[in-house]
Amino acid sequence: MPDQAVVPQLRVLITRQQIAERVAEMAAQITRDFAGQSIVFVGVLKGASIFLGDLARQVKLDATFDFISVSSYGNANKSSGEVRLNKDVDESMADKNIILVEDILDTGLTLSYLRKVFLAHQPRAFKIAALLDKISRRIEPVHADYTGFTIPDEFVVGYGMDYAERYRNLPDICVLPPDML
Ligand code: IMP
Ligand code: MG
């Protein structure tokens, strides 16, 4: 059954095939960049979980996983810029090659906060892998070292990303129309 049948208002923006091809390219680049070294994938819960799983399985390096959880004060659509760390990493980040895995780089407020937190731990390397980049929304000057797709300023769900915790399990990345927000 096509997934659109579940929620007919959703419009597919990036198909599962396009995601798979791009994630494979990103994984190949990470494999080249860190050849001969170990890396730690740090996923930002919950949105990055599916992306991290797909990406990490194609990276041909010695790797471990860790996860953090953050929330920004404000409501679902508007961030206040204040970020709270709900769950920190379990392992020490000192002298490690960290790849922070995030679903969407939007205003950049979350990642600029996380970048400060991680750099304070003195990793050997710190890179950001973001599946999506809404570049037109940027407030803080953050860029990802590995970017999947640049997308317009629309609210997307699926492939891990939610609206009010729903739609994370859709295999394609879909646009949620404004009247459903
Ligand atoms: P930033 O701090 O504004 O860059 O916010 C980034 C976070 O906002 C992402 O990690 C997502 O959790 C969330 N976010 C931003 N845009 C969307 C969207 O279109 N769909 C789902 N979540 C989004
Ligand atoms: Mg997120």
Ligand 1 centroid from CA 112, angstroms = 13
pLDDT digit string, tens, across residues 48-88: 999 999 999 999 999 999 999 998 876 655 666 789 999 99
- Most ligand 1 atoms within 8 A of CB, residue of 42, 161, 172 to mutate: 161
Name which of 52, 61, 59 is nearest 24 in CA terms: 59
Kindly tell me if the per-residue pLDDT of 3 is higher than 60. Answer: yes
Going by CA atoms, what residue is nearest to atom 5 of ligand 1?
A: 106
In this prediction, residue 70 carries a pLDDT of 95
- What is the pLDDT at residue 2? 58
Note the Cα 173 to chain centre separation in Å: 13
Read off the pLDDT of residues 17-40 as tens digits, 9 standing for 90 and up: 999 999 999 999 999 999 999 999
Q: Annotated catalytic sites, by residue?
A: 106
- Helix, strand or coil for residue 179? helix
| Residue of 104, 147, 174 with the most ligand 1 atoms within 8 Å of its CB, for mutation | 104
Write down the pLDDT at residue 150: 98
Tell me what the pLDDT averaged over the chain comes to.
93
Domains and CATH numbers, the chain: 17-151 (3.40.50.2020)
| DSSP character at residue 176 | P
Residue 4: pLDDT band (50, 70, 90) is low
For the chain, where are the E strands, in sequence order?
11-14, 38-45, 62-74, 79-87, 97-105, 125-133, 146-150, 156-157, 173-175
Q: Which helix (H) or strand (E) holds 16?
A: helix 16-33
Q: Ligand 1 — pocket residues by CB below 6 A?
A: 47, 79, 102-111, 155-157, 161
Residue nearest to atom 11 of ligand 1 (CA): 104
Q: What is the DSSP string of 131-162?
A: EEE-GGG--S----SEEEEE--S--EEBTTB-
CA of 81 to the centre of ligand 2 (A): 14
- The model's pLDDT over 138-158, given as tens digits with 9 standing for 90+, comes to 999 999 999 999 999 999 999
pLDDT at 9: 87
Looking at the chain, the whole-number percentage of residues with pLDDT higher than 70 is 93
Q: Which ligand is nearest to the CA of 44?
A: 2
Looking at residue 48, its pLDDT comes to 98
Q: Say which DSSP state 72 is in.
A: E
Q: Are strands 38-45 and 97-105 parallel, antiparallel or unpaired?
A: parallel
Cα(46) to ligand 2 centroid in Å equals: 7
